């Protein structure tokens, strides 16, 4: 699923780059080459079409990106050794050193 979405994202990106490169920021581009007013798609219609195509492709790219982030396989939850030790503490009676029951008398040490 993720592979299919990735291929679609690449296709949309290539189309978006092509549409943006056809446009010219100063009003030229594809619309400037159709200078005649008797054209079926006049200058204004070409500009509107390119703008709508840009916004549509950008929206599709956004939707595919969100869908791809949802479709990525999540790794199985593995707990670190520290988390495992916190959740299951060791038996303290066996792991802790034993303390002598009584202290030696002070009289014996002198």
The DSSP 8-state label assigned to residue 41 in this structure reads: S
pLDDT at 47: 76
Q: Let me know if 60 is exposed, middle or buried by CB neighbors in 10 A (0-12, 13-18, 19+).
A: middle
Output the average pLDDT for the chain.
75
Average pLDDT over residues 99-109: 63
Instruction: Round to whole Å and give the CA distance between 52 and 22.
Output: 13
pLDDT in tens, 29-83: 555 555 544 445 555 667 788 889 999 999 999 999 999 988 887 777 777 777 7
What's this model's pTM, rounded to 2 decimal places? 0.52
- Is residue 23 over pLDDT 50? yes
Please state the domain extents for the chain.
Answer: 41-68
Q: Which two tokens stand for residue 98?
A: 């034993």
Long-range CB pairs of 6-15 (<8 Å, 24+ gap) are 6/68, 8/64, 9/61, 9/64, 9/65, 9/68, 12/57, 12/60, 12/61, 12/64, 13/61, 15/57
């Amino acid at each position: 699923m993720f592979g299919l979405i990735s291929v679609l994202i690449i296709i949309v990106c290539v189309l978006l780059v092509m549409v943006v490169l056809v446009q010219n920021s100063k009003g030229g581009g594809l619309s400037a080459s159709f200078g005649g007013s008797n054209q079926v798609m006049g200058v204004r219609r070409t500009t509107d079409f390119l703008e709508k195509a840009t916004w549509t492709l950008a929206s599709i790219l956004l939707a595919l990106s969100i869908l791809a982030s949802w479709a990525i396989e999540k790794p199985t939850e593995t707990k670190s050794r520290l988390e495992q030790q916190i959740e299951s503490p060791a038996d303290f009676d066996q792991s802790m050193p034993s303390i002598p029951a009584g202290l030696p008398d002070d009289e014996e040490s002198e």
